[in-house]
């Protein structure tokens, strides 16, 4: 649907009651201004870079065959054939998180190899031989070697199977198998990202691992003396916690064990101070690298530099790289806003691992997310209160389709932390250096009288403009659009104006940021 990301940088200053704004987009942009309302969208193109490391590995081939027809497993098993001379080799021996895998084959097989042979890649338990992450034709090989790209830590060993095609039976049978492990143990902490809490003197760290042991973090002002220690909580979700297929169906390209999501709160932080931290699990040797962040500024601060973007997905490596550079080299390190369409996992659990691997380098700054495309959840819906019976927001006048692949926000709920000022990660607000930021969800009911509308109205009424002269509102769907050929989006934008625009004008919202329909200009 949308495969590009928008990214804007903002520096907001407020001195003696005066405010100013500077927007520095990197690409051609489209905007429409109405009084105090400004909507900005920016698009980019994703490019993935790969680092390769090479080693070698031999494996013992399969001793039995399973008949296949048109990639559908047959219940019968054929007699085993001696394939001792035919073997697969891996390069590297053990995989780095996110690296590529080269698989080659050598030796003489007991059956004739054909141009219709193929190899499959999986990780962890499979339902049948049709259940795989990727498939490569043997004819795609370069000197009997093929390449599987970007293999991330999924807390399992990767398995490659070579299938030989028999034109007499029109079936393919596995004749060799290769297993490749990860260089790091499954308990290694991954996907670290920070978030503010309700306490101005605290910071939350969330991360993932393959163990439910007690999560912990060490932190301090000296990277060689992390003298403070805190422990936290752990959660996870199962297939039957999700709402619809494919998300709630176990498979290589649908639900897979997500591991465990851990949250630890670092407390008693001094304002605007550089802290170093390292996280992991109690009684487990594997720990993260020592990373750093700057604690929240004093309440009387009037200067903040932040980055805002949306629609990045797990393929937005270029956007991620630029964000990382802006954060680490150009000082846009106050916080980051990602308002909608987060990973585009759509029920494919491994995409979440890919996404967090990509953002982890710059998520050492507070990263706030907004809900993305949503499905009806019924009793599985964790946002609560949208309708008397739960479920998604699908009014007749909109184009709110069931396009999260049945996830209905469950992975988001378990993987992110937000200040407790609203309704979890679904809608909330926070203050930072003279800015009051509101993250609303356009995937939940925002019409007059709804729970979210009433929360938004009350939140805006409580803003103290002497403390936070800037009010910034983010949403995913558009209140204004020039793409009149897309009727569904136009209808939603008209309704958005009808229901919410007066509220925004009344409370003098300074900046509104949305990104839903991506268009590349120029």
Same domain, 227 and 242: yes
Tell me: pLDDT of 485 over 80.
no
pLDDT at 503 over 90: yes
Higher pLDDT, 34 or 510: 510
Closest to 195 measured CA to CA, from 266, 118, 301: 266
β-pairing, 260-266 vs 274-281, is unpaired
| pLDDT, mean of residues 104-125 | 94
Of residues 380 and 65, more confidently modeled = 380
Q: Angle at the Cα of 404 (from 496 to 71), degrees rounded to 5? A: 150
Kindly state whether residues 441 and 500 are assigned to the same domain: yes
- Range with lowest mean pLDDT among 354-368, 487-501, 507-521: 507-521
What average pLDDT does the structure give for the chain?
80
Identify the pLDDT of residue 223.
98
Q: What pLDDT does 399 receive?
A: 67
In a domain, 57, yes or no: no
Q: Within this chain, do residues 257 and 233 fall inside the same structural domain, yes or no?
A: yes
CA–CA gap between residue 87 and residue 503 (Å, rounded): 68
Domain limit, last residue, from 162, 180, 198: 180
For 356-395, the pLDDT digits (tens) are 998 898 888 898 887 665 555 556 777 764 454 445 677 7
Joined tokens for residue 219:
């932190």
End-of-domain residue from the set 148, 180, 212? 180
Same domain, 144 and 196: no
**pLDDT at residue 47 above 90?**
no
| Across 142-150, average pLDDT | 91
- pLDDT per position as a tens digit, 315-342: 666 777 888 888 888 888 888 888 877 7
Average pLDDT over residues 239-251: 91
Handedness of CA 138, 140, 144, 149 (dihedral sign): negative
The predicted pLDDT at position 99 comes to 96
Residues with Cβ within 8 Å of residue 454, at least 6 apart in sequence: none
Q: Kindly report the CATH number assigned to the domain that includes residue 262.
A: 3.60.21
C-alpha 417: how far from chain center: 13
Model pTM?
0.81
Contact by Cβ (8 Å): 239, 258: no
Q: Average the pLDDT over 1-26 and give the result.
A: 44
Residues 114 and 262 placed together within one structural domain of the fold: no
Do 222 and 107 share a structural domain? no
Of 126, 156, 180, the last residue of a domain is 180
Q: Residue 409: pLDDT band by 50, 70, 90 thresholds? A: confident
Domain that holds residue 270: 7-48+186-513
pLDDT of residue 376: 53
Total number of domains in the chain? 2
Q: Report yes or no on 522 lying in a domain.
A: no
pLDDT band (50, 70, 90) for residue 516: low
Maximum average pLDDT range among 64-73, 161-170, 322-331, 512-521: 161-170
Same domain for 237 and 271?
yes
- Residue-level pLDDT at 10: 52
Name which residue leads in pLDDT, 316 or 178. 178
Give the pLDDT confidence of 248-273 residue by residue, as tens digits. Answer: 999 999 999 999 999 999 999 999 99
Residue 117 has pLDDT above 80, yes or no: yes
Residue 111 shares a structural domain with residue 190: no
Write out 66-114 in H/E/C secondary structure. EEEECCEEEEEEECCCCCCCCEEEEECCCECCCEEEEEEEECCCCCCCC
- Within a domain: 56: no
pLDDT in tens, 434-482: 999 999 988 888 899 999 999 999 999 999 999 999 999 999 888 888 7
């Amino acid at each position: 649907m949308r495969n590009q990301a928008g990214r804007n940088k903002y520096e907001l200053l407020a001195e003696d009651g005066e405010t100013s704004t500077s927007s520095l987009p990197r690409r051609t942009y489209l905007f429409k201004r109405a009084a105090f309302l400004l909507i900005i969208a920016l698009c980019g193109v994703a490019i993935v870079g790969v680092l390769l490391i090479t080693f070698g590995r031999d494996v013992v081939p399969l001793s039995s065959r399973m008949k296949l027809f048109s990639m559908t497993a047959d219940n019968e098993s054929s007699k085993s054939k001696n394939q001792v001379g035919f073997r697969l080799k891996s390069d590297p021996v053990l995989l780095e998180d996110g690296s590529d895998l080269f698989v080659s084959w050598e030796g003489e097989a007991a059956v004739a190899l054909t141009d219709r042979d193929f190899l499959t890649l999986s990780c962890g338990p499979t339902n049948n031989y049709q259940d795989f992450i990727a498939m490569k034709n043997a004819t795609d090989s370069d000197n009997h070697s093929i390449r599987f790209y970007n293999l991330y830590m999924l807390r399992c060993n990767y398995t490659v199977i070579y299938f030989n095609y028999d034109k007499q039976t029109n079936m393919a049978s596995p004749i060799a198998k290769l297993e490749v492990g990860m260089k790091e143990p499954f308990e290694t902490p991954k996907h670290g990202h920070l978030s503010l809490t309700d306490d101005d003197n605290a910071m939350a760290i969330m991360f993932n691992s393959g163990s439910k042991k007690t999560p912990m973090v060490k932190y301090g002002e000296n990277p060689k003396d992390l003298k403070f220690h805190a422990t936290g909580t752990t959660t996870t979700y199962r297939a039957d916690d999700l709402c619809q297929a494919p998300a709630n169906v176990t498979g290589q390209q649908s639900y897979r064990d997500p591991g465990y999501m851990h949250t630890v709160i670092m407390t008693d932080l001094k304002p605007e101070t550089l802290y170093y931290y390292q996280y992991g699990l109690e009684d487990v040797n594997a720990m993260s690298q020592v990373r750093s962040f700057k604690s929240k500024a004093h309440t009387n601060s009037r200067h903040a530099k932040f980055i805002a973007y949306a629609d990045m997905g797990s393929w937005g490596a270029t956007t991620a790289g630029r964000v990382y550079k802006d954060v680490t080299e150009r000082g846009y390190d106050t916080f980051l806003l990602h308002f909608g369409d987060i990973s585009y996992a759509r029920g494919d659990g491994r995409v979440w691992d890919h996404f967090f691997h990509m953002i982890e380098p710059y998520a050492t700054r507070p990263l706030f997310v907004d809900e993305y495309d949503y499905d009806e959840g019924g009793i599985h819906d964790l946002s609560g209160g949208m309708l008397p019976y739960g479920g998604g927001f699908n009014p007749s006048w909109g184009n709110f389709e069931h396009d999260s692949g049945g996830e209905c926000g469950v992975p988001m709920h378990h993987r992110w932390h937000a200040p407790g000022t609203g309704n979890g990660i679904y809608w909330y607000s926070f203050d930072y250096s003279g800015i009051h930021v509101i993250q609303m969800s356009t995937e939940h009911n925002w019409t007059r009288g709804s729970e979210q509308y009433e929360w938004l109205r009350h939140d805006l009424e409580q803003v103290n403009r002497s403390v936070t002269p800037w009010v910034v509102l983010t949403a995913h769907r558009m209140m204004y659009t020039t793409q009149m050929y897309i009727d569904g989006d136009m209808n939603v934008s008209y309704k958005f104006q009808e229901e919410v625009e007066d509220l925004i004008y009344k409370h003098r919202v300074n900046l509104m940021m949305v990104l839903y329909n991506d268009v590349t200009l120029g």
